Structure 1
Amino acid sequence: MNVDEVRLNFNPASLQALNAVLAFLMFGIALDTRIADFKRVLKMPLAMGAGIAAQFLLLPALTFVLTLVLKPSPSIALGMILVACCPPGNISNIITHRAGGNVALSVSMTAISNALAIVLMPLNLAFWGSLHPTAAPLLKTIALDPLEMGLHIVIIIGLPFVLGIAFARRWPALTERIKKPARTLSFVCLVVFIVAAIAGNWRYFIDYVGLVLLAVVLHDGLAYGLGYFTAKAVGLKEYDRRAVSVEVGIRNAGLGLVLIFGFFGGLGGMAVVAGVWGFWDIIAGMALAGWWARRPAARTRFEGVGE
């Protein structure tokens, strides 16, 4: 069967549970986010600007070009575009720390990128998807409403994020005790659901993983490289480049799966891309971080997370 005709199964109750897990994940990210993270942007506008531009302007554009070069099936191309439009996941902060990069910059970028994604993600997907020669007709048959998707993202990303920040401000001592377990638990739950989504549709993943694996590996490698060389192009030091590279390379594939099952009916190529990406970008990120860890980078100013 053509991958564009496959619809993966994920029952409504499981989808609601996945929405709840993703909301909890965003709440956990917010517990480790401070107003100072947003104020820190004023101290390093060049680094932040480079990272945001790489994520929301350059990566979707590069992905669009990559799909034209590789010429995958329409649903796979649309899945690659969707993943590129997702915000970074909170594991990016852990990988940046392991890589010896600027954790303060990583935390700030994660916070701001997730806030911006509420508006930019559905707009980016609608824009690049509608321009794609093979994915655009598929997108039209789905009749995607960017406003409806935006509202969904507000509920599962925006609201938990705001509540998490408010919780951390109101109960700072309690937050310090629970933030690490909360982030760990939410991440584990997300991985479990991704595994469950794959396990429940194992035959399709086995049948089509060969179609997407090369595309995902190449796509992810380009994302890490794009972040690094964008940071280098604007004159950032190695310490900051590593943070930007990881922020661009790590995408929240769990959010992608939620949207694929919620708005695209579990469209085969999209779901397989997001499922494979959800594991591969972490594997690639940890391998890259391990390599960087053996090559310490000189620190720049404003690296303290508590500043």
Structure 2
Amino acid sequence: MLTQILIPVGLILIMFSIGLGLQVSDFNRILVSPRAVITILVMQMVFLPISAFVISLLLEMPPELCLGLVLIAACPGGITSNMLTRLARGDAALSVGLTVITSFLSVLSIPLVLQLISPFINGQATIITLSFFDVARQILVLTVLPLATGMFLRTKYPNHSARLESPVVMTTSLFFLLLVALTWANQWENIFASLAAVGIAVALLIALNIFSGAAVAKLMRLRDKEQTTMLVEIGIQNSAMAFMIAANILNDMTAAIPSALYSVFMVLTGLIIVGLRRQAAPKQIST
């Protein structure tokens, strides 16, 4: 299928464009806000996949859709979360720092999560077999290496990289939207058949994560900007990465359906968060 050839190319370009906007100094935010970083990382990398798994079991979703829902929850944030955090007047530097951390950790975290849940969803209609090292190797090649290359170019050639960042981001974003549209067209029958179950699951996942994130942020006494960042980070996932892993690494387009729907739901959710937080904090947008 053409989309399965284009998806890895699109993901490499997306991760490269993210790297162009990052610098090694972005890690400094870890030292400035360690409590916020740890709290958000735990929510992103532990709570989100668990909540997705529980929801899929409660709704008795087929194993491929269950795997796809957990996969999108296990993926890191990306350039969309950075942009929405800035628009919502959150801590943009914290969001960027989290993108760097979670993107690099995803090489181990995503295959680990998939490996842990696969035995619990086996025994149903389809037996799912996953190789931890194969998944990790492909994520490394398709996501971390392009990200690191972009960061290297930003550090080595800052002026040229800064000029390239916006057009590259725009081009890759449009390219990914095209891939999603092609997938919807090619997989419409499967998507339509799964729309009710997956739509409910995605909506529940986002709602649960947002409300839980707000409660945890208050409990941990995070600053207002850090609370905003947390809401965006746990609601916006790298759907391009989830899409690619499902379609090309797991070789299962059915498992890609949750990420296709999530990409729509998360943008709507992000815009709602931006609107609410801008009303709650009518100050100059954080840079």
Task: Please give the range of the TM-score, normalised by the shorter of the 2 chains.
Answer: over 0.9
Rounded Cα–Cα distance in structure 2 between residues aligned with 1:122 and 1:114? 13
Q: What is the aligned length?
A: 287
Rounded Cα–Cα distance in structure 2 between residues aligned with 1:102 and 1:196? 35
Q: 1:298: Cα distance to partner? A: 7.5
Rounded Cα–Cα distance in structure 1 between residues aligned with 2:124 and 2:179? 27
**How high is the TM-score relative to the length of structure 2?**
0.93
Amino acid at match of 1:20: V
**Residue 196 of structure 2 corresponds to residue 180 of structure 1:** no
1:246 aligned residue: 232
1:104 aligned residue: 93
Q: Which of these residues, 252, 265, 277, is aligned with residue 292 of structure 1?
A: 277
Root-mean-square deviation (CA), in Å? 2.0
2:155 aligned residue: 169
8 Å CA contact 1:86, 1:117 repeated in 2:
yes
**Residue 66 of structure 2 corresponds to residue 77 of structure 1:** yes
* 3-state SS, counterpart of residue 123 of structure 2: helix
User: Deviation digits for residues 38-64 of structure 1, max 9, x if unmatched?
Assistant: 122111111111111111111112222
User: Deviation digits for residues 211-261 of structure 1, max 9, x if unmatched?
Assistant: 211111111122223333332221102211110111111111221111111
- Aligned ranges for residues 34-113 of structure 1 at < 5 Å? 34-113=23-102
Unaligned runs of 5+ in 2: none
Amino acid at match of 2:25: A
**Residue 176 of structure 2 corresponds to residue 190 of structure 1:** yes
1:275 aligned residue: 260
Q: Which of these residues, 123, 143, 146, is aligned with residue 157 of structure 1?
A: 143
Between 1:20-29 and 1:218-227, the stretch displaced more is: 218-227
**Residue 118 of structure 2 corresponds to residue 114 of structure 1:** no
**Residue 137 of structure 2 corresponds to residue 148 of structure 1:** no
Large movers: runs of 4+ above 6 Å: none
**How high is the TM-score relative to the length of structure 1?**
0.87
Q: 1:267: Cα distance to partner? A: 4.4
Rounded Cα–Cα distance in structure 2 between residues aligned with 1:153 and 1:242? 29
Between 1:82-91 and 1:70-79, the stretch displaced more is: 70-79
Rounded Cα–Cα distance in structure 1 between residues aligned with 2:87 and 2:136? 33
Rounded Cα–Cα distance in structure 2 between residues aligned with 1:64 and 1:208? 17
Q: 1:67: Cα distance to partner? A: 2.3
